[in-house]
Copies of this chain bind each other. A is one copy, B any other.
Amino acid sequence: MSVTFPHGFQAAGVVAGLKPSGLPDLAMLVGDPGTTAAGLFTTNRVVAAPVTLSRARLAGGRARAVVVNSGQANAATGAAGESAAHATTDAAAAVAALAPEELLQCSTGVIGEPLHLDVMLAALPALVAALSPEGGEDFARAIMTTDTVPKTVAIETASGLRVGGAAKGVGMISPNLATMLAFLTTDGAADPHMLQGLADDVLKPRFNAFTVDGCTSTNDTVLLLASGAAAAAETTDVGELADALAQAADSLVHQLIADGEGATHVLLIDVEGAGDDAAARAVAKAVADSPLVKTAAFGKDPNPGRILQAVGSSGADVDPGLLDVWIGGAQVAAAGVIPPSYFDAGGDLRAAATAAMSGPEIAIRVRLGEGPGRSRTFGCDLSYEYVRINGEYTT
């Protein structure tokens, strides 16, 4: 399971002492020589030092390993933070006998707090010593912050290619941000250009299509590494690999959203009939991020007016006279009109919509018209627990 399910990878996760909790907080993943890498990074203008470092090294084309720490995000730390990121990777590379350019870095934790560099450096020998082809689960645990469970995936294709993955995020601990980190590995063969194409085309739309609270972290990173170590690697079929990556990403996204802060329901928002996919995404995200829709989901209240309100304020070019909306199988708006029978006490339509709000997954479908654009976006409800996790403490 996890990132070491594909051949050609070793991983480890140890307790360095970066987090007060004493839980594992330092992780490493290394691909065999020849491994290629691709990445996706946060669109936030405020970018953590490890993101700057990793983005530059990926462009260099030699990266095949990553060190991940939780505890400090190393964001808003200025030149000192940049130095600390380089010092970490330089030291880890030396211990692991890698070139510094082969090593990427991810951090998650408190924004602004200086990286505990001495603690990091002291733990690196034990981290490197623990690297093993069975280390994937330890890796997945050491990258967690307030995630309640590790998120991992392992897929094998018909021709024997493997895809593995681990992710964290969407749990926040005071005063941390919900940095989302995801690591996908494969033992298929892919040159860096092809691998970045797969990251852009297959991973990006999936990791951009879920939202817990609409906040983009300073540290969000998705890395994809290909070792080419599978027996069938020489004949890697890009379509087959793309399908396996899509499955793996879908699984990780599902696991992340289900572990969203305080989430009691997963929202599955399907938008269709838009002018293009971007317009569909804008509408889906507006619905998924609407506090009114999210609190209605928490209250199990089918509320078509709140969905229409979110659609109309999405910024997309929406014709309100064409809007059809379903909650589960219940059509709660047709051609922009909520059926008057919806407001009948004890009516069937509301009963059906209410039933569709009661399960762990709530499906909302919005049809905007006859256009080709569509989007599927995952969200979650807004509960007391979200407010508690993010608000109920004072420093």
Contacts and interface: CB of A to CB of B under 8 A. Distances in A.
Contacts of A303: 175
A213 B292 contact: yes
Contacts of A291: 213-215, 291, 382, 386, 390
A311 to B, nearest CB: 7
- Which of A335, A342, A343, A387 has the largest count of B CB atoms less than 10 A from its CB? A387
Contacts of A43: 313
A contact face: mostly helix, strand, loop, or mixed: loop
A335 B391 CA distance: 27
Interface residues of A, number: 75
A184 to B, nearest CB: 24
B114 A340 contact: yes
Interface stretch (A31-39, A44-52, A143-151): A44-52
A359 interface: no
Nearest to A179: B309
A332 to B, nearest CB: 8
A385 to B, nearest CB: 9
Interface string A334-353: 01111010110000001000
Interface of A: 43-47, 73, 75-78, 80, 110-114, 172, 174-175, 177, 213-218, 290-292, 295-306, 308-314, 318-320, 323, 333, 335-338, 340, 342-343, 350, 354, 381-384, 386-388, 390-395
